[in-house]
Amino acid sequence: MVLAPLDPTTRRRHKLRNTVQTWLLVGGSIGLLVLCAFVFAGLEGIVWAAIFGTFLLVASLRASPWMVLRLYRARPMTQAQFPEGARLVAELSRRAELPAMPRLFYVPSRMMNAFAVGRPEESAICVTDGLIRGLTLRQLAGVLAHEISHIRNGDIRVMAVADMVARVTGAMSTAGIVLLFLNLPFVMSADAPMPWLGIAILLAAPTVGALMQLALSRAREYDADLDAVGLTGDPDGLASALQTLERRQGRMWEMMLPGQRIPDPSLLRTHPRTQDRVARLMSLRGRQAAPRRPYVAAPDRRPAPPLRTVPIVRAPRFRALGLWY
């Protein structure tokens, strides 16, 4: 397989844009939390928000990633069971210079999906039965490279920080509104002015924080796409996989963790639109240098299904807490 060369200038430009967006969104989310805490209880509120947020962050980072795997009924796959997938993970991990190779897990689901959990020192990549049976090895290499890029870039920790900030912001906002209503008779009887600006900030903070969290998720997806191409040297493979996922099952594959997502409008998406991701990937193909081969060899054929695995026969079920298998 001979491919067009990658354009280093375009890669650097996309990388810079993704990095700037990430820092702006993280900084904006933290700034919104500080503002909400200050409106709620002044400087003391900022101190309590920092203490509470630190506790939540440490607890989330120390939580075992295998808990998520149990929710999905994921099963570990050995090299003997899925040699083609294990080879791709090993080669991509070596190119990514991870301290430890991620463990490969199988999820008995018809949905085409993949996600990563853990940190670079201890991580896992889950692929569903539908994904293995629905993609070629070339497309699967792009998807696995995308998940390995999430692990290498620490995106799981970044999103944990964003989730912690959004939760504390929401808690501060709710507590502030409740206290306001409880003290409303006193404020009205004392003929004191209503703090309309503070009320507006407390009311808008959870929505603004959630939108920032979703925007951060989209920025990290763009960055994982970019780094995945750097690992495989094959933007067409990942672009083809994204188009196949979109064509086969719409936007259901965007759910990385159990829970319902609202895909439209674009501001409420966890992932960028597929056409936008494909356009960025195609822009990485250079036009001047001589053709070259991909960094990771993966033929355009379906992989052999893993040994001793049985695809699930029922579709995902919606429960009160989200989508479960």
pLDDT digits (tens, 9 = 90+) for 158-174: 888 888 888 888 888 88
Name the DSSP letter for residue 292: B
Q: What is the rounded CA–CA span in Å between residue 148 and residue 79? A: 18
pLDDT value at position 174? Answer: 87
CB-CB contact of 158 with 150 (8 Å): no
What pLDDT digit, counting tens, does each position of 179-208 carry? Answer: 878 877 776 776 767 777 888 888 899 899
pTM above 0.85, yes or no: no
**Burial letters for 181-215: b for 16+ Cβ neighbours within 10 Å, e otherwise?**
eeeeeeeeeeeeeeeeebeebbeebbebbbebbbb
CB 134 within 8 A of CB 303: no
- Which residues are catalytic, by number? 147
Backbone angles phi, psi at 219, to 5 degrees: -65, -40
Angle at CA of residue 65, ends 34 and 147, nearest 5° = 90
**pLDDT at residue 318, as a whole number:** 52
Residues in the chain: 325
Range in 56-65, 280-289, 309-318 with the lowest mean pLDDT: 309-318
What distances in angstroms separate CA 55 from CA 38, 48, 59, 61, 197, one per listed residue? 19, 11, 6, 10, 30
